[in-house]
Amino acid sequence: MSAASGPRVLAEARWPEPGDGAPPPVPGFVHSAFPPLVAAVADRCLTRRHGARPVPAGTRTAVVLVSASGDRASAEHVRATVAAGGRIGPLFFFQSVPNSVAGHIAARWGLDGPVVCLSPTGEPRADGTAEAELLLYDGDADEALLILIEQAPDGTPGEATAVLLGEGTP
Amino acid sequence: MADRQHLRITGVHALSALGRGADALLAGVLTGTPAFAPVRRFDTTGRRVTVAATLPEVGPLVDELTDAVDAACRAAGLDRTHRSAAALFLAVHGGPEAPALAADLARRCGLTERIRVYTTACVSASTAVADAATLIGRGDLDRVVVAAGYLVEPDQYALFDAGRAFAADGTVRPFSAGRQGLLLGDGVAAVVLESPAAAARRGAPTLATVPGWGRAGDAYHPCQPDPQGSGLARAVAAAVRRGGLPAEALGYVNANATGTPYSDAAEAAALRRVFGDRAGRIPVSSTKSVHGHALEASGLLELVVTVLALRHGKLPVNAGFLGPDDTCPLDVITDAPRPAVTDYALTLNAAFGGANTALLVGAP
């Protein structure tokens, strides 16, 4: 892939879309809406492209997760619990980094390309697309699932967008 | 002599519990005396494990990162003009503070070309290096300063303790029989990466080259590695392929091995998957056994270790080794450093999410 052409949008999804309620819980993840939101928007996007799991064999798909705030609810729970001298539940360890839910999606859909999490320094979609393009150019991935997510400071679930990028036909 | 086509490393700096600066890091990993001690930085009352590898009297992370970037740039001979045209790729724990930290660091250090912030857990820094290599190789950038930092603090410490990830015996024993887990350690590092042409224009000396790199995922589990090491094996294979080297040119692996039973075994499986029986004859060590696990910064700290080891021709010790484990049939460097017999080494990292990276490093 050349730097100039850029990857094509193969599928795109948002959560919420009209009619959506809260995203379904994700087994093994607790307390925060961040992992369910990421998993739901990723599932929706990949389903629009591929119909059913897993992705076709031989298609190395990267996961690029872009979030400025990260899993704010989990981080704040940990911070408050530690500051109060309390004990943290072990599941918080397993969801302490955005890689975990990215890995959940990767395992569920067979996405065996690179996993990259970024905190955006510019426009989030542009930052994430640039990373996806780089991974495709470099040959470590054939497609890239870009996930953009922000949680509101007040703890409301927030919203997420997922975009599947690659060289195929939209 | 360095291949003219390979990405150059022209400056490095590191801080760890072994001390400040490259000399302290090299001396520490060659001596092989673990730096773990009871944590004094914060209260560990109620934790299962109460040790880590911390450096006394560290400043705030932004100050230590600034110092590291300044030192690496000075080592590389970068003046103000060179810095202003350099990009900053920062690897840190994610959260609302990360973008502001990066902007502040860039402003303090005069690095204004482009900023990226990697929050990919324990492959953050190594992914940043791989991305920098790609962008420099493509001609998008001439020069990138990769910086990374983690200073042991109470929240991550409590999380790892809650997850029973720590070695209850207070010792990190990578690839060893009887290994019980990991221990955290401070790590702040900076590395200056340049295109061969940019380095040549400045007449900059080359500390090492980065001929190859690879990134791949396991697609296996949210936080456990594939026991067969499939993703790490593909990352290693990609790095070696990009480097254009025969397998026998590889003389050392600075392993990711954290001292965790299943993940060290998965790493050994990955190496055997790529190199076959030869994997058992490549010298391997994990210097996390000495400086601890620096999380987001581990990839850069261990890259600096690998660069220094190749330059000095000595391969560091894998401390804490009690005896061989059948699940890790590797040539682990125990007891004393070994002489480096080739000019090329790999440094490997793996993270939650099944994220894996491999960086191929060459002596100049």
Say what the alpha-carbon torsion angle B75, B184, B56, B117 is, to the nearest 10 degrees.
50
Q: Does the pLDDT value for residue B4 go beyond 80?
A: no
Q: Tell me if A141 is assigned to some domain.
A: yes
Task: Judge whether A36 is closer than 8 Å to chain B, CB to CB.
Answer: no
Q: Does the pLDDT value for residue A1 go beyond 60?
A: no
Structure tokens, B200: 């040549």
Q: Would you call the peptide bond into A23 cis, given omega within 30 degrees of 0 as the criterion?
A: no
Residue of A nearest to B235 (CA): A140
Residues above pLDDT 70, as percent of chain A: 95
Q: Would you call the peptide bond into A56 cis, given omega within 30 degrees of 0 as the criterion?
A: no
Complex ipTM, two decimals? 0.97
Read off φ and ψ for residue B298, nearest 5 degrees.
Answer: -60, -40
Residue ranges of domains in chain B: 7-169+182-202, 210-362
Q: Does the pLDDT value for residue A26 go beyond 60?
A: yes
Residue of A nearest to B237 (CA): A140
Identity of the residue numbered B360? L
Q: Would you call the peptide bond into A16 cis, given omega within 30 degrees of 0 as the criterion?
A: yes
d(CA B148, CA B187): 8
Which residues of chain A are within 8 Å of residue B162 when distances are taken between CB atoms? 87-90, 92-93
d(CA B364, CA B356): 26
- Helix (H) or strand (E) segment spanning residue A105: helix A99-109
The nearest CA of chain A is from the CA of B299 a distance in Å of: 14
**Tell me: domain B7-169+182-202, CATH 3.40.1160.10, correct?**
no
Identify the CA nearest to B346 among candidates B325, B323, B330. Answer: B330
Residue A153's pLDDT is what? 72
Identity of the residue numbered B171? T
Residues above pLDDT 70, as percent of chain B: 99
Q: What is the per-residue pLDDT across B141-178, written as a single tens digit (0 to 9) for each? A: 999 999 999 999 999 999 999 999 999 999 999 999 99
Identity of the residue numbered A150? E
| DSSP secondary structure letters along B291-333 | H-B-GGGHHHHHHHHHHHHHHHTEEPP-TT--SB-TT--SEE-
- Residue A126: other Cβ atoms inside 10 A: 11
The strand pairing partners of B89, in sequence order, are B116, B146
Q: What is the per-residue pLDDT across B249-291, written as a single tens digit (0 to 9) for each? A: 999 999 999 999 999 999 999 999 999 999 999 999 999 999 9
Which residues of chain B are within 8 Å of residue A88 when distances are taken between CB atoms? 158-159, 162
Residue B5's pLDDT is what? 78
d(CA B114, CA B85): 9
Residues in CB range of B177: below 8 A, 6 or more apart? B322, B323, B324, B325
Q: Does the pLDDT value for residue B40 go beyond 70?
A: yes
Q: Which domain holds residue A52?
A: 32-70+98-166
Task: Judge whether A74 is closer than 8 Å to chain B, CB to CB.
Answer: no
The nearest CA of chain B is from the CA of A27 a distance in Å of: 11
Residue B256's pLDDT is what? 98
Residues above pLDDT 90, as percent of chain A: 88
The nearest CA of chain A is from the CA of B335 a distance in Å of: 34
Q: What is the per-residue pLDDT across B133-145, written as a single tens digit (0 to 9) for each? A: 999 999 999 999 9
Binning pLDDT at 50, 70 and 90, where does residue B75 land?
very high
Identify the CA nearest to B184 among candidates B67, B304, B16. Answer: B16
Binning pLDDT at 50, 70 and 90, where does residue B2 land?
very low
Q: Do residues B314 and B363 make contact, with C-beta atoms less than 8 angstroms apart?
A: no
Most B CBs within 10 Å, among A78, A138, A149, to test the B interface: A138
Q: Does the pLDDT value for residue A13 go beyond 90?
A: yes
Residues in CB range of B141: below 8 A, 6 or more apart? B87, B113, B114, B132, B135, B195
State the residue for tokens 């690029």: A64
Q: What is the per-residue pLDDT across A117-142, written as a single tens digit (0 to 9) for each? A: 999 999 999 999 999 999 999 999 99
Which member of A85, A87, A103 has the closest CB to residue B353?
A103
Residue B124's pLDDT is what? 98
Residue A3's pLDDT is what? 46
d(CA B90, CA B85): 16
Q: Do residues A115 and A58 make contact, with C-beta atoms less than 8 angstroms apart?
A: no
- Overall number of domains in chain A: 1
The strand pairing partners of B53, in sequence order, are B185
Please compute Rg for chain B using Cα positions. Answer: 19
Q: What is the per-residue pLDDT across A42-100, written as a single tens digit (0 to 9) for each? A: 999 999 999 999 999 999 999 999 999 899 999 999 999 999 999 999 999 999 999 99
**Tell me: domain B210-362, CATH 3.40.47.10, correct?**
yes
Q: What is the per-residue pLDDT across B84-117, written as a single tens digit (0 to 9) for each? A: 999 999 999 999 899 999 999 999 999 977 999 9
CA B154, B155, B156, B162 torsion-angle sign: positive
Q: Tell me if A117 is assigned to some domain.
A: yes
Cβ distance A104 to B222 less than 8 Å, yes or no, reads: yes
CA B258, B264, B270, B273 torsion-angle sign: positive
Q: Does the pLDDT value for residue B295 go beyond 60?
A: yes
Q: Do domains B7-169+182-202 and B210-362 have the same CATH topology?
A: yes
Of residues B3 and B162, more confidently modeled:
B162
- Helix (H) or strand (E) segment spanning residue A151: none
Residue A6's pLDDT is what? 81
Binning pLDDT at 50, 70 and 90, where does residue B18 land?
very high
- Residue A3: other Cβ atoms inside 10 A: 13
Q: Tell me if A27 is assigned to some domain.
A: no
The nearest CA of chain A is from the CA of B104 a distance in Å of: 12
Residues in CB range of B323: below 8 A, 6 or more apart? B176, B177, B178
Q: What predicted TM-score, i.e. pTM, was given to this entire model?
A: 0.97
Structure tokens, A48: 């629009």
Most B CBs within 10 Å, among A117, A127, A134, A145, to test the B interface: A117
Which residues of chain B are within 8 Å of residue A94 when distances are taken between CB atoms? 163, 222-223, 352
Mean pLDDT over A161-169 rounds to: 92
Which CATH number covers residue A134?
3.40.47.10
Which residues of chain A are within 8 Å of residue B351 when distances are taken between CB atoms? 97, 99, 115
Cβ distance A93 to B160 less than 8 Å, yes or no, reads: yes
Output the average pLDDT for chain A: 93
Residue A2's pLDDT is what? 45
Q: Does the pLDDT value for residue B313 go beyond 60?
A: yes
Output the average pLDDT for chain B: 96
Q: Do residues B147 and B115 make contact, with C-beta atoms less than 8 angstroms apart?
A: no
